[in-house]
Amino acid sequence: MMKNTFLLCSALVVSAVLWGCQTTDNVQPSPKNDKRVSLTRPPVTIIAHRGASGHLPEHTMASKALAYGMGADFIEQDVVMTKDDHLLVHHDLTLDATTNVATVFPDRKRQDGHFYVIDFTLAELKKLHVFERLKSTETTTGTATGTAKYPKRFPTQTGDFRLHTFAEELTLIQALNASHQKNVGIYPEVKSPWFHHQAGKDISSAVLSTLKTYGYTQKADNVYLQSFDANELKRIKHELLPKFGMTISLVQLVAYTDWQETQELVNNQWQNYRYDWMFTRQGVADIAEYADGVGPWFPMLVDDNWQASAFLKAAQQFKLAIHPYTYRIEDTPERFDSYDQWLQFTYAELGIDGFFSDFPAKSRAALTSR
């Protein structure tokens, strides 16, 4: 199985290199902006969001190999834990929206209607098929509707894609780096540490242990570790990194409080974490004490007049790397004629350092001078 996976991934890398070169040559300027961005600043860092997820199902080995071939600088890994303490590359805590878990294990959902990764062993998870993300209903269960979230992407229920571990993906990326004499980086996210703590699992320690095993121990090793959980990032910075003898770069992902992205333990009770403080100048200064960068949602970078927001200005003042998410062709703001123009504005006018995108090759082409 692993041998076949590596053969497929190798073929995808070659195809992506050829396709990417053709794409770069043929990209047309947007109607309102017929000039390319002049790269007078350092080249922007392109982070493949869940791999080349605009072309293949997210967080599959094929998607990661395609992202590599498309020229991504970093490839993202969302990391969750299984019942038997393996680290799985998967975006959600649940399996509903991207796998056939309801068919294979129909009796394993919780009372809320969801199938949780943490309730399955790795062997069980390996039996599942992965497909293009489905829309969720507006019900409390969030049950998948059967229609694709992005209908013009890879056809749903097509192909033979499987889940894989964090270690398996690092092995693939390092093998590709060796065979292509490149140094494509990794960008793992510790997913919902609070959720894993509630289950008695120290996911952050497990992630750091795996990173150390694969030689990612210092800032020069082309790795960023990200999380929405500020308390956990502080723990990683002040407790776990010294414990493991590591000095890797940390990134604070930024959310709005009403997203209910994180929980924290207050007076022995878990409650929704408030992000309001991060949008103040002092808050950004505090982030700079434990993190090397921030990962905001794109709208957080601009004010109502599409000028740089106070948050963005503060992050730049405190020398934080700015890596916003997520740049998708389908989500191009109405203000812009094209995805290319959106990227050019973000890079040239806002001065970001990098960004997460589902479309690595398209993004590279949009920001390449000609």
Q: Is the pLDDT of residue 162 over 80?
A: yes
The pLDDT of residue 4: 57
- The 3-state DSSP class for residue 349 equals coil
- Least confident range from 16-25, 245-254, 317-326, 329-338: namely 16-25
Which residues lie across from 134 on neighbouring strands? 148
149-167: average pLDDT: 94
The pLDDT of residue 26: 38
The pLDDT of residue 142: 41
Q: Is the pLDDT of residue 175 over 70?
A: yes
Q: Is the pLDDT of residue 1 over 80?
A: no
Hunting for tokens 């095993």 — which residue is that? Answer: 213
Q: How many CB atoms lie within 10 A of CB 10?
A: 16
Q: Which of 236, 101, 82, 275 is nearest to 166 (CA)?
A: 82
Percent of the chain with pLDDT over 70: 86
* Residue predicted with more confidence, 280 or 370: 280
The pLDDT of residue 41: 59
- Band (pLDDT 50/70/90 cuts) for residue 275 is very high
308-327: average pLDDT: 99
- Band (pLDDT 50/70/90 cuts) for residue 30 is very low
Structural domains of the chain in order of their starting residue, each with its CATH number: 45-90+163-368 (3.20.20.190), 94-160 (no CATH)
Catalytic residue annotation: 49, 91
The pLDDT of residue 136: 73
Q: How far apart are the first and last CA of the chain?
A: 43
The pLDDT of residue 106: 96
220-229: average pLDDT: 98
Cα-based distances in Å from 225 to 63, 75, 78: 20, 12, 10
**Average predicted confidence (pLDDT) for the chain:** 90
- Least confident range from 1-15, 247-261, 291-305: namely 1-15
Q: Is the pLDDT of residue 39 over 70?
A: no
- Band (pLDDT 50/70/90 cuts) for residue 146 is confident
Q: Which residues of 119-152 are buried (b: 16+ CB within 10 A; e: fewer)?
A: bbebebbeebbbbbbbeeeeeeebbbeeebbbee
Give the C-alpha separation, 193 to 248, whole Å.
18
179-195: average pLDDT: 98
- The 3-state DSSP class for residue 102 equals helix
In this structure, what token pair is assigned to residue 137? Answer: 């209903």
- Band (pLDDT 50/70/90 cuts) for residue 158 is confident
- Least confident range from 13-22, 188-197, 243-252: namely 13-22
The pLDDT of residue 224: 99
The pLDDT of residue 24: 39
Q: Is the pLDDT of residue 327 over 50?
A: yes
pLDDT digits (tens, 9 = 90+) for 99-138: 999 999 999 999 999 999 999 999 999 999 999 999 874 3
pLDDT digits (tens, 9 = 90+) for 50-73: 999 999 999 999 999 999 999 999
Q: Which residues of 34-57 are buried (b: 16+ CB within 10 A; e: fewer)?
A: eebbeeeeeebbbbbbbbbbbbbb
What letter represents residue 33's amino acid? Answer: N
221: DSSP letter: G
- The 3-state DSSP class for residue 293 equals strand
The pLDDT of residue 9: 58
159-187: average pLDDT: 98
